[in-house]
Amino acid sequence: MPIEFIISRQKHTEIVKQLASEYGFLQCGISKAAFLEEEAPKLEQWLNANYHGKMAYMANHFDKRLDPTKLVEGAKSVISLLYNYYPIQEQRTDTYKISKYAYGEDYHFVIKDKLKELVFQLEEQIGEINGRIFVDSAPVMDKVWAEKSGLGWIGKHTNLINPKEGSFFFIAEIISDLDLVPDGPIKDYCGTCTKCIDACPTEAIVAPYVLDGSKCISYFTIELKDEIPNDVKGKFEDWVFGCDICQDVCPWNRFSKGHQEPLFEAKENLLEMSKEDWAQLDEDHFKKVFKKSAVKRTKYSGLMRNIEFVKG
């Protein structure tokens, strides 16, 4: 390999990581863009067990989900990035709960805007590149790529855990034709801990590192458009949009630090809303409180369905 190419590759890698830091990303890791051979049978088994429930999109684009070169022609690198969303202040304890990631504006748009700027600056410094950005969108196995690039390990609850930051962060990717220096994976430090498995009220973590998505509270309150089945009544522990239980009990989240993103700050009064406030929410107030929020995904009717179900 020519020395000029090695130097150029190293320099480009340093530029990518420096820009990621400048745009507020917690960490940035790089993997070689190649077929995920080890993941193929795992994904097939997971789908065959119907752990995706009625999330039909999870079964689509099987090959693209495993091979980034089918998403970006000539792809050489997968750049994985973490963006913190851990809030300094949380909801009051005696109310209906929503996942911390949904306190502020929808992360898809916030992080995509940052990545567009990052790629623009990258091209300003090194020239035109062929690439695409992904924020929990399209068939990309983001946690797997982040794990391969050394940003953490996939814990028993199937979330990515970073030993310095915990797990309250979003994962995003840039898949591009840039030839960059890849990072290697780190060890799994879950050890003998089973706190996440023991704490899940719907027993969605059916085995260490295996999540039955169709039993998860997040699935019931966001993805499922039908009526929520009666056999999980009384098990939601007041969660009405998403669920953070398995992350809240994880010992590694003692390292979580409050985010520095103004757009992720909770809307006025959200953190102080009582159960009565939630139950009396009308559609106009819903639109005001959750303007630009990920909570809009379940719509007003879906949120009220969830509240009624939890109320019992």
- By annotation, the residues acting in catalysis are 136
Q: CA angle 222-146-52, nearest 5°?
A: 35
Residue of 79, 63, 72 whose CA lies nearest to 18: 79
For residues 58 and 63, give the distance between their C-alpha atoms in angstroms, rounded to a whole number: 12
Q: How far apart are CA 4 and CA 222, in angstroms?
A: 51
Residue tagged 């930051």 (tokens):
165
Do residues 176 and 75 touch, judged by C-beta distance below 8 A?
yes
Phi and psi, residue 147, nearest 5°: -65, -45
Q: What is the CA radius of gyration of the chain?
A: 20
**43 SS3 class:** helix
